[in-house]
């Protein structure tokens, strides 16, 4: 139980810093530490993400970082993709899901490193942070 609280806290910090729902850590945490099957870990992660993302949204909105119209459109237009994704997950084996998950993470990590090395030097972090009046 303490491990779960620790996973939750860590995943939340990552979610807040990076703008993700925490699933990146919930899924491996639930699968490896708690011992859920890959399917259960994924499904449970999704439910845990909802309050995290909601709290994060409220705070980010206070900082002026939420474009509401865009967020609403992305969210509502996701429903077909979501239904297909869940149905697909439930037809695949846990091993296939795990390997796919790992590959997805690596692909996105490489993209982010590439973006950071090209765009990162444009913004002065101190200036940017101060101008937001946080």
Partner 1 sequence: MPRDRSPRLTSATALRLAAIGSCAGLFSGLFGVGGGTVIVPLLVLWLGYGPREASGTSLAAIVFIAGFAAAIQGVYGNVNVLDAILIGIPAVGGVLIGIRLQQRLPTRAISLLFAGVLIASAIELLAQ
Q: Under rule CB under 8 A, which residues in 61-120 are in contact with partner 1? A: 61, 63-90, 97-106, 108-113, 115-116, 119-120
Per-residue binding string, partner 1, 6-45, x by CB under 8 A, is: xxxxxxxxxxxxxxxxxxxxxxxxxxx-x-x--xxxxxxx
Shortest separation between residue 94's beta carbon and partner 1, angstroms: 10
* Position 55 contacts partner 1 (CB under 8 A): yes
Q: d(Cα 100, Cα 106) in Å, to the nearest integer?
A: 10
CA-nearest of 131, 126, 116 to 65 is 131
**Residues 6 or more apart whose Cβ sits within 8 Å of residue 124:** none
DSSP code of 73? Answer: H
Shortest distance, position 133 Cβ to partner 1, whole Å: 10
């Amino acid at each position: 139980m303490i491990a779960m609280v620790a996973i939750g806290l860590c995943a939340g910090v990552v979610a807040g810093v990076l703008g993700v729902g925490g699933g990146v850590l919930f899924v491996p945490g639930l699968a490896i530490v708690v011992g859920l099957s890959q399917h259960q870990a994924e499904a449970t992660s999704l439910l845990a993400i909802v309050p995290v993302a909601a709290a994060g949204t409220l705070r980010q909105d206070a900082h002026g970082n939420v474009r509401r119209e865009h967020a609403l459109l992305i969210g509502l237009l996701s429903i077909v993709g979501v239904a297909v994704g869940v149905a697909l997950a439930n037809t695949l084996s846990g091993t296939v899901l795990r390997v796919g998950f790992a590959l997805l993470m690596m692909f996105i990590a490489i993209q982010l490193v590439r973006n950071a090395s090209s765009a990162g030097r444009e913004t002065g972090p101190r200036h940017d942070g101060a101008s937001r009046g946080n």
